[in-house]
């Protein structure tokens, strides 16, 4: 693998600026990361991180929302953003020669958002429509229900978008204060990748970035231990849908735990691809569903491994039986070395292909810096994955797949009570 040249500079106001030089690329990608997300919110202002993300595209003192779009798209580039539990990212990608124009627009919206009252009210309605859109899509809404079941009473249990009621409560003063306090040097990471040079990027972006106030790091509420071992929790929602939507979640450890590599391999074996155990059992061998998958998310101090299946309500009991048996097998038996090898090859192979992109490299180094305060060379990560053994996978499975750390979310026209209540019991 041809690893890019990684460089990092810490600016005097606390901003971390990192580059991945990929001289063979035609593109450049710029990301500005604010180290604040939904888990940093107060319950009464749930959704403010996501609301601010929207509003940064609505204009600055020198650019209207139309100007922002026109200046980026008119040079052949694109602009986007997303909000997660612990960070918010704004990024632009385009031909390498457009880097100065892309950086200029991105820094302007990140630092100088106007929060015009009329734009706030218009965008408030847009966000409420987005919430309704997710609510009307049960395969997405069930994920919010799972978070609520897994982390009740904690910010992680609240939807990233907020609710209609919480978004309506957020004032212009709330938005302005949130942006001023949290979009600061101490909470900002800048990642630039593609056909770029570190010194040129520093010269181009450094002066504007150094004008940002240093600020202070933003604390967050840790997840109490009892939330991870509080017994099985479930949330059901009955509605008129053709298909039942089932999510099962298991509390895991945080991103600093060395077992995270075994967890990654376990997730691949469980449900990340078409050769995974759940896909084969539920879809290929028993025809119980069309869609089934698993995902593992690790945060600073906690994590969640989740399973999703969309299926006919009559198939839920059998699907749960097969799923429970599958999880018990992982917890009690070692998988073969050949399956470990295949899961490793899939994980490394997909990562290598993805990291050929300047966008994926921008995400990789941004998430590395946010999570570990350094850039993790992909080869280092691949080597750690290569050390995972069958025993390590079994030990993680036995630790994670427990009834007392399980959450279930379900949306369907009927609720099969006995099947859900007895899961892993």
Over range 12-16, report the average pLDDT. 97
Over range 367-377, report the average pLDDT. 97
**Residue 238 confidence (pLDDT) above 90:** yes
Specify the 3-state DSSP secondary structure of 212. Answer: coil
Amino acid 224: pLDDT: 81
**Residue 231 confidence (pLDDT) above 80:** no
The token pair that represents 232 in the structure block: 């099985």
Global pTM value:
0.95
Over range 305-329, report the average pLDDT. 95
The token pair that represents 116 in the structure block: 């015009």
Specify the 3-state DSSP secondary structure of 80. Answer: strand
Confidence bin at 273 (pLDDT 50/70/90): very high
**Residue 331 confidence (pLDDT) above 60:** yes
Q: Which of 161-175, 200-214, 357-371, 401-415 shows the lowest per-residue confidence on average (mean pLDDT)?
A: 401-415
Catalytic residue ranges: 53
Give per-residue pLDDT as tens, 144-167: 999 999 999 999 999 999 999 999
Amino acid 424: pLDDT: 72
Residue 343 phi, psi dihedral angles, 5° rounding = -65, -40
**Residue 225 confidence (pLDDT) above 90:** no
Over range 296-321, report the average pLDDT. 95
Amino acid 79: pLDDT: 98
Over range 304-309, report the average pLDDT. 98
Q: Encode burial over 257-269: b for 16+ CB neighbours within 10 A, e otherwise.
A: bebbbbbbbbbbb
Amino acid 36: pLDDT: 96
Amino acid 418: pLDDT: 61
Pairwise CA distance, residues 279 & 271, whole Å: 6
Place of tokens 């101490």: 186
In the chain, % of residues over pLDDT 90? 92
Work out whether the CA dihedral 174, 176, 182, 188 comes out positive or negative.
positive
Averaged pLDDT of the chain: 95
Confidence bin at 194 (pLDDT 50/70/90): very high
**Residue 421 confidence (pLDDT) above 80:** no
Place of tokens 């998958």: 293
Give per-residue pLDDT as tens, 58-79: 999 999 999 999 999 999 999 9
From 286, 283, 308, 282, select the one nearest 295 (Cα to Cα): 308
**Residue 111 confidence (pLDDT) above 90:** yes
Helices (H), 92-218: 99-111, 117-136, 138-150, 164-169, 172-182, 198-209
Over range 328-357, report the average pLDDT. 97
Q: Which of 9-23, 169-183, 214-228 shows the lowest per-residue confidence on average (mean pLDDT)?
A: 214-228
Amino acid 251: pLDDT: 95
**Residue 1 confidence (pLDDT) above 60:** no
Amino acid 247: pLDDT: 97
In the chain the domains, ranked by start, together with CATH numbers, are 5-209 (3.30.830.10), 225-421 (3.30.830.10)
Over range 230-247, report the average pLDDT. 91
Over range 216-236, report the average pLDDT. 83
**Residue 222 confidence (pLDDT) above 90:** no
Amino acid 3: pLDDT: 79
């Amino acid at each position: 693998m041809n690893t890019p040249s990684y460089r990092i500079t810490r600016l005097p106001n606390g901003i971390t600026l990192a580059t991945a030089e990929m001289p063979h690329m035609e593109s450049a990608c710029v990301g500005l990361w604010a180290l604040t997300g939904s888990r940093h919110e107060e319950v009464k202002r749930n959704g403010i991180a996501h609301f601010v993300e929207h509003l940064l595209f609505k204009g600055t003192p020198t650019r209207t929302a139309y100007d922002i779009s026109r200046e980026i798209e008119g040079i052949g580039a694109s602009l986007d953003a997303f909000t997660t539990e612990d960070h918010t990212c704004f990024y632009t990608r385009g031909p390498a020669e457009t880097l100065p124009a892309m950086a200029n627009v991105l820094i302007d919206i990140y630092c100088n958002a106007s929060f015009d009252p009329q734009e706030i009210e218009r965008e408030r309605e847009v966000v409420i429509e987005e919430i309704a859109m997710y609510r009307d899509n049960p395969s997405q809404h069930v994920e919010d229900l799972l978070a609520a079941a897994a982390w009740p009473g904690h910010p992680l249990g609240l939807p990233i978008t907020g609710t209609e009621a919480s978004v309506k409560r957020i004032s212009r003063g709330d938005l302005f204060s949130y942006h001023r306090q949290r979009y600061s040097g101490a909470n900002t990471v800048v990642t630039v990748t593609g056909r770029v040079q570190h010194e040129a990027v520093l010269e181009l972006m450094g002066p504007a970035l150094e004008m940002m106030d240093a600020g202070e790091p933003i604390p967050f509420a840790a997840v109490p231990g009892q939330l991870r071992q509080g017994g099985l929790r479930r949330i059901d929602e009955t509605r008129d849908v053709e298909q039942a939507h089932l999510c099962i979640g298991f509390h895991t450890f945080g991103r600093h735990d060395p077992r995270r590599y075994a967890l990654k391999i376990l997730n691949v074996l469980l449900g990340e691809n078409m050769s995974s155990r759940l896909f084969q059992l539920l879809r290929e061998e028993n025809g119980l569903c069309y869609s089934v998958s698993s995902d593992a998310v690790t945060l600073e101090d906690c994590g969640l491994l989740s399973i999703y299946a969309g299926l006919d309500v009559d198939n839920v009991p059998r699907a749960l039986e097969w799923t429970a048996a599958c999880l018990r097998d992982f917890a009690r038996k070692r998988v073969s070395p050949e399956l470990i090898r295949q899961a490793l090859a899939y994980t490394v192979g997909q990562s290598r292909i993805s990291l050929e992109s300047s966008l994926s490299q921008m995400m990789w180094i941004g998430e590395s810096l946010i999570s570990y305060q350094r850039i993790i060379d992909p080869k280092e990560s691949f080597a750690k994955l290569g050390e995972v053994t069958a025993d390590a996978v079994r030990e993680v499975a036995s630790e994670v797949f427990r009834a007392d750390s399980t959450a279930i979310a379900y949306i369907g026209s009927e609720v099969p009570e006995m099947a859900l209540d007895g899961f892993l019991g």
